[in-house]
Amino acid sequence: MQRTLTVPPSQDEIAQAADEISGGALAGVRVEPWPRGRSHHAYVLTTPTGEQFLFKVHRRPHAGRMRRFLHLAELLAARKVPHAAVRWSDVDRQTLPVPYYIQDFITGEDAARSSGLLSFTDQHRVGEELGTGLRIMHRVEYVDTPMPWVTELDDRLRTRAAECRFLDALDQSSHATVISFYEERRAALEGVERRLTHDDLNLANLLLQRRGDGWHFVAFLDFERARGRDPLLDLVRLESWTLPACPAMMTPFRDSYAHVDDERARRRAQIYEVYLLLAGIVWYRQNELPERERFCRERLDEWLSTRRT
């Protein structure tokens, strides 16, 4: 089991480590806690000239996972995916007893906090910019396992379905319904090429910025769960779970992203709709998020009711 970092570094330790790892570029920074780190202890570093960066230490430090993330960060920068670029890092714990990295601090608000402030025009603009940014991300080839996607998804879906039976989200009959529905469409997964997917595109992971002409999409946040998968997974999650909170974003997002909507894609999307619900129930239970688990259970019940008619 990964150990939990219960005692974060002190602000003095962070300032000293930032100075050392940056070769003096971050000398004399002011260190302030940043409360939105979720899985990280996070701090805003402000230099004497006013530049700002975000210092992040994972609450469950794991050097291997961090190396994977740093490799991904290089790829994001090279392919110009909208994100907060990593500037410095210390995986080998030369300046602190725990691994950490320092990235750009982009001012703004995540869409979960700012969506209620967006006008119709803002939503249209943000939807278009979001579609463009996601298209750039999904063009990135990212093969993190030699396993074919159809094999991985097959194992994942069957495992999540079995776990949902254990959690009483499915009974024997509804479990059979899910598996039958999937098997009827499984052939559509053959030959899918892996691309970089975010895998957690909720409103909290979309950074918006208010400018003179209104709100803009500026960056994707939190690539901790990013993987090489079918980009359609991100699209299904966005269009089914995330964008309905901002309905005026949907059409400009689709136009900008320019998704190919053929029969094979529709059948894969149908699989992913139910897979995301199964996976959500399990993940939210493991992470003690009952309201989100309830959302997935209710959506799954609705889906099952349509299969009975």
Domains in the chain and their CATH numbers?
Answer: 11-104 (3.30.200.20), 109-308 (3.90.1200.10)
**pLDDT score, position 4:** 57
- Is the pLDDT at 52 greater than 50? The verdict is yes
Burial (CB count <10 Å: 0-12, 13-18, 19+), residue 100: buried
Q: How far apart (Å, rounded) are the C-alpha atoms in residues 45 and 133?
A: 27
Query: 216 and 129 in contact (C-beta within 8 Å)?
Result: yes
State yes or no: pLDDT of 144 exceeds 70.
yes
- What is the average pLDDT across 54-68? 86
Per-residue pLDDT, 1? 41
Neighbour tally for 43: CB within 10 Å: 26
d(CA 149, CA 170): 25
- pLDDT value at residue 6: 57
Q: Is the pLDDT of residue 3 over 70?
A: no
Q: What percent of the chain has pLDDT over 70?
A: 98
219 versus 64: the higher-pLDDT residue is 219
Q: Please check whether residue 157 is in contact with residue 272, taking contact to mean a CB–CB distance below 8 angstroms.
A: no
Is the per-residue pLDDT at 279 higher than 90? Answer: yes
Query: Considering the chain, what is the average pLDDT of its residues?
Result: 93
Confidence of residue 309 (pLDDT cuts 50, 70, 90): low
